[in-house]
Amino acid sequence: MIMMDWLAKAMGLPDHFLSTSENGGGVIHTTACESTLFTLFVARDHLRLKSDTGSQNGHSTVSSSAINVSSMVAYGSKLAHSGVEKACLMGAVQYHPVGYDDNYSMRGHLLEKEIEADIEKGLTPFFVVATLGTIHCCSFDNLKELGEVCEKWGLWLHVDAAYAGSAFICPETRHLLAGIELVQSFNFNPHKWLQVQFDCSALWIKDRQKLDTVLHLDPIYLQHSKQDEIVDFRHWQIPLGRRFRSLKLWFVLRSFGVTGLQKWIRGTMDLAEYFADLITKSEHFELFRPRSMGLVCFRAKGSNDQNRALLKSLNEGREIHLIPAEIDDTYFLRLAICSTQTTQKDLDDVLNLMLRHLQKL
């Protein structure tokens, strides 16, 4: 609890996520996918319990809820991670991907249009995932607009900031957090870009009382004498047992300090900018969009097929491994800087290597 509070404060998250607040708190999960799945379950069952029509022996059960799971709808950007759709498959709810604007950002009016159409059809919208830092190109959904729409329609808003969340340790990036006060849950992976070893995925919840009403089972073998005095993290996650992951956070925070981590994040962004510059200046390559955080999206000037062939050749050469993405029929390559070992010279080498492979095609 102390580590999650330290981390929340270091990232400028609102006080209502702190364990010392009235209703909030954080928990360390394994992965972003697990956090999305878990919060979707909580949002789903919370809504179904609220609408509960029948109660048996004084116990409310979600099985007697007035709302059918199959009529419930969750939303995310078309650029949201596949883990969102997977969570919907596992939760047996519908998933409706939402479009994005010219900046690859999911906007409030685009979401609201989908919500209204679904309500018209008799469906029950309940859950929205906003992505801060999409996997394709590290674009940012408009949290403030989405938050206002979710508040208006009573939907749970979850943030997936798996990769880019680490950047919020630097205050100059926090304009992207505007609207955070409207969010029900916020997740990012210190194991991606904050020097913590896999696995360590931080999830904060605004209203922990919702965890006490759903997915809350108390069999005799788990009961203890401090039941209502301490936080039982088994209600905050899928597994029962937990690893001591906070120790990894403690070591990283104590070793680097907040200023050390800020320096690290800014350093990787500077290196990414250096690489983006090399791309812009090269006559054979172009940026797909400007650098975002530590990610550079670029392509060889030419067709998608030429870029596919280039990637295949590069990855088969085994000196570098890149992962592609495709948006609106444009195929591009992605280079992210996450290693403490990367230098400007490595990036010069990457460009030369790519030119060599390009000439051989």
Ligand X SMILES: *Cc1c(COP(=O)(O)O)cnc(C)c1O
Which residues are near ligand X by CB under 6 A?
31-33, 81, 83, 131, 133, 135, 160, 162-163, 189, 201
Task: Specify the residue, 33 or 310, whose C-beta has the smaller distance to ligand X.
Answer: 33
Task: Specify the residue, 194 or 358, whose C-beta has the smaller distance to ligand X.
Answer: 194
Task: Specify the residue, 162 or 265, whose C-beta has the smaller distance to ligand X.
Answer: 162
Residue 61 Ramachandran class (φ > 0 left, ψ -120 to 50 alpha, else beta): beta
| Cβ atoms of 96 and 112 closer than 8 Å | no
Min CB(199)–ligand X separation in Å: 7
Min CB(43)–ligand X separation in Å: 18
Q: State how far the Cα of 91 lies from the Cα of 8, in Å rounded to an integer.
A: 29
Min CB(32)–ligand X separation in Å: 4
Min CB(353)–ligand X separation in Å: 25
Task: Specify the residue, 192 or 299, whose C-beta has the smaller distance to ligand X.
Answer: 192
Residue 148 φ/ψ, nearest 5 degrees: -65, -40
Task: Specify the residue, 31 or 304, whose C-beta has the smaller distance to ligand X.
Answer: 31
Q: For residue 300, what are the β-bridge partners?
A: 285
Task: Specify the residue, 117 or 323, whose C-beta has the smaller distance to ligand X.
Answer: 323
Task: Specify the residue, 16 or 179, whose C-beta has the smaller distance to ligand X.
Answer: 179
Among candidates 361, 265, 256, which has minimal Cα distance to 311? 361
